[in-house]
Amino acid sequence: MSSQTPANDRGPNISTRIIRVTGRVQGVGFRRSAAKAMERLGLAGTANNLTNGSVEMEVEGRIEALEAFTKWARSGPFTARVDTLEWRDGSAAEVTKSRRTN
């Protein structure tokens, strides 16, 4: 699944956040739900399964929307169980679409 979700604008209120969640987060629709949440919040980003069983998301957009997405990611979809969530902020990067990858 790939859907274009460009960030709404690029300015001082735009940032990038790397979020990693662990728990029952693979095989439960987490990445698909993350892509939908990014689109709903006007964010751009990617969600990828890691070999250690976690999901890592790189998300770009308005700081307020990043906060809302981070709050969503603490629980994810109802089919998931998030045990830990770690995140770090970075500078705005060229993240231009929300997609799932294997």
- Report d(CA 54, CA 94) in Å as an integer: 23
pLDDT given at position 89: 87
pLDDT given at position 11: 64
- Residues known to be catalytic: 31, 49
Q: Is residue 34 part of a domain?
A: yes
Using alpha carbons, select from 91, 92, 95, 72 the residue that is nearest to residue 21: 72
CATH number at 31 reads: 3.30.70.100
Mean pLDDT per 10-residue interval, the chain, length 102 residues = 43 87 97 98 96 96 96 96 92 44 43
pLDDT given at position 18: 95
Q: Is residue 101 part of a domain?
A: no
Residue 61 is part of which domain span? 13-90
The answer to whether 95 and 59 are in contact (CB under 8 A) is yes
Q: Is residue 95 part of a domain?
A: no
Please state the pTM of the whole predicted model: 0.79
Counting the structural domains of the chain, the total is: 1
